[in-house]
Amino acid sequence: MHEDFEADLRGLAARGRLRSLRARSGIDFTSNDYLGLAESEELQRAAAEAVARGVPVGSGGSRLLRGNHPEHEALEAEAAAYFGAETALYFGGGYVANLAIFSTLPQRGDLVVHDELIHASAHEGMRRGRADCVAATHNDADAFDAAIKRWRAGGGKGRPWLAVESLYSMDGDSPDLDALFAVADRHDAMLVIDEAHATGVLGPQGRGLAARFEGRQNVVTLHTCGKALGTVGGFVLAPRVVRDFLVNRARPFIFATAPSPLVAAITRAAIELSRTNPARRERLAALVHFAGGELRRRCGVAPSGSHILPVIIGADGAAVAVAESLQRRGFDIRAIRPPTVPEGTARLRIALTANIDEAIVAELFAALAEDMRIAA
198 belongs to a structural domain: yes
pLDDT at 87 > cutoff 70: yes
pLDDT in tens, 207-235: 999 999 999 999 999 999 999 999 999 99
pLDDT in tens, 175-193: 999 999 999 999 999 999 9
Task: Give just the sign of the alpha carbon dihedral 294, 300, 305, 311.
Answer: negative
* Domain shared by 301 and 177, yes or no: no
* Domain shared by 245 and 333, yes or no: no
CA-closest candidate to residue 270, choices 97, 90, 95, 59: 90
pLDDT at 22 > cutoff 90: no
Q: Which residues pair with 257 in a beta bridge?
A: 62
Which DSSP letter does residue 62 get? Answer: B
Task: Give the residue numbers spanning the domain of 311.
Answer: 278-375
The phi-psi region of residue 139 (left if phi > 0; otherwise alpha if psi is between -120 and 50; otherwise beta) is left
Task: Give just the sign of the alpha carbon dihedral 76, 199, 100, 113.
Answer: positive
244 belongs to a structural domain: yes
Active site residues: 32, 119, 165, 169, 194, 197, 227
Mode of pairing for the β-strands spanning 346-351 and 335-336? antiparallel
pLDDT in tens, 242-269: 999 999 999 999 999 999 999 999 999 9
Contact predicate 258/67, CB 8 Å: yes
Contact predicate 85/215, CB 8 Å: yes
Cα distance between residue 208 and residue 13, in whole Å: 39
204 residue type, one letter: P
CATH of the domain at 355: 3.90.1150.10
Cα distance between residue 165 and residue 173, in whole Å: 9
pLDDT at 361 > cutoff 80: yes
Distance of CA 302 to the CA centre of its chain: 23
* Domain shared by 60 and 138, yes or no: yes
CA-closest candidate to residue 301, choices 365, 367, 374: 365
Over the chain, what is the mean pLDDT? 96
pTM for this one?
0.95
* Domain shared by 224 and 304, yes or no: no
Cα distance between residue 369 and residue 209, in whole Å: 32
Contact predicate 93/223, CB 8 Å: no
Contact predicate 136/115, CB 8 Å: yes
- The percent of residues in the chain predicted with pLDDT above 90, rounded, is 92
CA-closest candidate to residue 258, choices 70, 25, 20, 35: 70
| The domain boundary residue, chosen from 276, 306, 332 | 276
pLDDT score for 376: 63
